Amino acid sequence: MRKPGVATGALVGAFLTASLIAGFYLGWKLAGLPFVPFQVFDWTARVLPGGVITFGIDSMVKVIRLLKIADTSSAAKAAEQSMAIALFLVAGALLGAVLFAILRALRVRRPVLPGIGLGLAAGVGAVLVARSLGQVSNVSPAIREDWTLAAFAVWGAALGWANRRLTRERIELRGEIDRSAWDDTVERLDRRSFLVRLGGATATITVAGAVIGSLAGGRRRHEVVTGKRWSADHPLPNAGADVTPAAGTRPEYTALEDHYRIDITTTPPVIDGATWRLKVGGLVERPLELTMEQIRGYEPLHQFVTLACISNPVAGSLIGTTRWTGVSLQRLLPDLRLAPTATHLKLSSADRFYEIVALDTLRSDARVMLAYDWDGVPLTTKHGFPLRIYIPDLYGMKQPKWLLSVEAMDHWEPGYWVKRGWDRTARMKATSVIDTVSVDMMLTQADSNTRIPVGGIAHAGARGISKVEVRVDDGPWQEARLRTPLSDTTWVVWRYDWPFQPGNHTFTVRCFDGGGVAQIVDTKPPHPSGASGLHSKSMML
């Protein structure tokens, strides 16, 4: 009796793993059960060296920009999820190959039991991965773990059954004909027929699971923003500013749907706001828990804020501006009753992200806040519901979302990304971008009296922008006009009306922060302190 080999095992493993993925997806969308491929991927990202993760992030952003995909954050999240599924599928194929190789070498006559054993071993590994992630869920741990083990056991049993069928059909065929007349082509055709049937069945299961899961998930998990947005019936504070943006400049106020999102998990934590509590512990007189009702009971602080990701390349889309509402941590601190020895707060999130903030920062800057609303409505799940922190002048890597706890400490320690090789301070760098050279006009009769609007944004965290200059080709730097910003913590829209000259031209922009310090002109990648360099745009006019 010669059993099917490694290649066949890999193929069968891939088929059955595709169905397993569909089953996990269906359970996730219908009942909130764990989607194991994402959990495994998230765990892998946690244990890999920081340099590997950084290389992956940089490579992903570069590819997205080369493909000219405008929404970098959505594309990156879709890429992460696709990689998670692909890696899980490859792992399933490898396990199938290993099982078939062992069954062939040992000539096991009852392969279903070893298959179940392999499935349970894989299931135990997945359970341990989920425990290490500590993800928040509305489903009890026992149900989640039983579901995971049962699904893997069925997958393993199916692997063993497929091995048995392939072996049995070969034996039956050999028994029906004279061995001397045996043609290996007959065996290959029979196995091929079985694999085709198996592939068709798993494809049907996979597609059905994916479609049903998507439809059910769309009804079950579609997020509806409740309440009227602040921007729906309020003018922006600079509505009467003298300088109007050049046509084609990005919106000064970012729509919630367009705000960038970067986080460390393939899917965001889903938190029940009714049972959520912000736990305060460590060096405090007495541990306490704050409800959202209590936090909202403090005098609200409203701020127009520009947030940017440290991974954002020059002129990238990982930046956005909106109006945030929350409570100033400076106002909240006395009620936390910190011990005199406390010097820092460790803020931890539902996705196991964490950052350490110095108490001196909180006491000296009332703008540092715990935010619960944006544009007048509660935070969405993807953007940190129910609570996130905002710290002026720092990149998003220092600002946890989905906050669960605050721990008072007497020392500093590296946060999540600092531990993985990113900048300790992560202060936003001054940067300027050309959004548009507005040539949507007839230029056939244009002359030197014609003005071409050039425009974009400049940003320097909470330091503000004092000046923006534009250079055309190798000409002198010319000062642009600045639109009054929404606040001292938002980007500034600039505009330069260029005297038209026909030909191919390169426009370059630079800015100076509120203290008159020029932006860094040396081109550097985002890692480890944020991207720098001058932005240019070339056009034939």
Query: Cα–Cα distance between 198 and 195 in angstroms, integer?
Result: 5
With tokens 């890429």, the residue in question is 79
How many Cβ atoms are within 10 Å of 358's Cβ, its own excluded?
Answer: 12
Among residues 258, 351, 357, 261, the alpha carbon closest in space to that of 308 is found at 261
122 Cβ neighbours under 8 A, 6+ residues apart = 95, 152, 155, 156
Query: Cα–Cα distance between 304 and 307 in angstroms, integer?
Result: 10
Query: Cα–Cα distance between 352 and 134 in angstroms, integer?
Result: 7
Q: What does the chain come to in residues?
A: 541
pLDDT of residue 211: 72
pLDDT of residue 178: 44
pLDDT of residue 227: 79
CB 512 within 8 A of CB 519: yes
Print pLDDT tens along the chain (541 aa).
567 889 999 999 999 999 999 999 999 988 889 999 999 999 999 999 988 888 888 888 888 888 888 888 889 999 999 999 999 999 999 999 999 999 998 888 889 999 999 999 999 999 999 999 987 777 889 999 999 999 999 999 999 999 988 886 555 545 444 444 444 444 454 667 776 777 777 777 777 766 776 666 554 444 556 679 999 999 999 999 999 999 999 999 999 999 999 999 999 998 999 999 999 999 999 999 999 999 999 999 999 999 999 999 999 999 999 999 999 999 999 999 999 999 999 999 999 999 999 999 999 999 999 999 999 999 999 999 999 999 999 999 999 999 999 999 999 999 999 999 999 999 999 999 999 998 765 565 667 788 899 999 999 999 999 999 999 999 999 999 999 999 999 999 999 999 988 889 999 999 999 999 999 999 999 999 999 999 999 988 8
With tokens 């721990």, the residue in question is 407
pLDDT of residue 21: 94
